[in-house]
Amino acid sequence: MIATEFAAQAVTAVQHTAVLAADPKGINTEGIVTFFASNIAPILLAVLGIIFIGRASRGEISKVLTSSAIAIVGLAFIAGAATLFFVGDYLIDIIFG
């Protein structure tokens, strides 16, 4: 009997002191993109540079040139996607703004 009364009092106390959860917030995508652009991309480029230097020192110049061209094309695609994102945002502002 005492245990059930104590449990009922504990449940009542918890119900009265329950804190409402804060409204959920969205994901900070700008922070994620900034983190990748400032931390991850330079590390990946450094790793590619080390690989290219290692291959060049072994005399595999054609592989280095091919890999370098692929990396440059990839960077151009990434830069183009970022540019199109801003151009699209600008066009939306003009059309609907």
- Is pLDDT of 8 > 80? no
User: Assign residue 83 a region: left if phi > 0, alpha if psi is -120 to 50, beta otherwise?
Assistant: alpha
C-alpha 58, offset from chain centre: 36
What is the structure's pLDDT at 42?
85
- Could you tell me the pTM of the whole model? 0.47
- Is pLDDT of 1 > 60? no
What does the pLDDT look like over 46-91, one tens digit per residue?
888 888 888 888 888 888 888 888 888 988 888 888 788 788 888 8
Cα–Cα distance between 61 and 48 in angstroms, integer?
15
